Amino acid sequence: MGGWVLLQACRDTQAWRQAGLGDLAVAVNVSPLQFRRDDIEREVANALTECELPAAALELELTESLLVADAEHVREVLQRLRALGVKFAIDDFGTGYSNLGYLQRFAVHRLKIDQSFVRRMGSSTHDEGIVRAIIEMAHCLGLQVVAEGVEDAATLHRLQGFGCEFGQGFHWSPALPAEGFCALVRNHQDSAA
């Protein structure tokens, strides 16, 4: 299933790029099981080749738990994938082991702040502090930040004030099928023109 999802995500992304929707990139979650099956490198290379998608347009989202389990093997696989041009993000940051050493060791380029912290920012100074600290720490390490679970303009504004570069959530749109996404991007392009 994971290999099919990866291939379909690359197909859709390349189709959208060829349809004139811009130099889109795609982020694909990789489960620890999929990663440990020892065919993730082959799956990634095959998907990129088959779809003629530039490797830089693919970001693999990894969980913190994957990075600490069998760290040497994971580091080697990530190095080989990085040599292809693939990028990496740590998904749901703050909910797992949060070992800051692996941020450098695995050369990720993006952290995704878990939505549980983002959604409680308005009602919890503790969670707001965690979000601010993650953003500041990521920037000190030269990493980009994505806030998950952005539900409204007030949350977006607060995150922008903290320096968060990217967000995802219902503020923009619920999850959409491929056709719905394509229409949303075209509408956005038309309104920006």
The per-residue pLDDT for range 24-83, each reduced to its tens digit, is 999 999 888 887 776 889 999 999 999 999 999 999 998 877 777 767 788 888 899 999
Q: DSSP labels for 43-54?
A: HHHHHHHHHT--
Q: Is 107 left (phi over 0), alpha (psi -120 to 50) or beta?
A: left
Strand order in the sheet with 110-113: 26-29, 58-63, 87-93, 110-113, 144-148, 166-168
SS3 26: strand
Q: Residue 150's pLDDT is what?
A: 96
In the predicted structure, residue 103 carries a pLDDT above the cut 80: no
pLDDT recorded at residue 1 = 56
- pLDDT greater than 80 at residue 107: no
What is the reported pTM?
Answer: 0.84
DSSP 106-150: TT--EEEE-HHHHHTTTT-HHHHHHHHHHHHHHHHTT-EEEEE--
Q: How far apart are CA 50 and CA 65, in angstroms?
A: 30
CA neighbor of 159 nearest in space, from 121, 112, 126: 121
Tokens 């979650």, residue?
A: 29
pLDDT value of residue 179: 75
Residues 6 or more apart whose Cβ sits within 8 Å of residue 41: 77, 80, 81
Q: Which residue has the higher pLDDT, 21 or 182?
A: 21
Is the pLDDT at 99 greater than 70? The verdict is no
pLDDT at site 174: 82
Average pLDDT, the chain: 86
Is the pLDDT at 101 greater than 70? The verdict is no
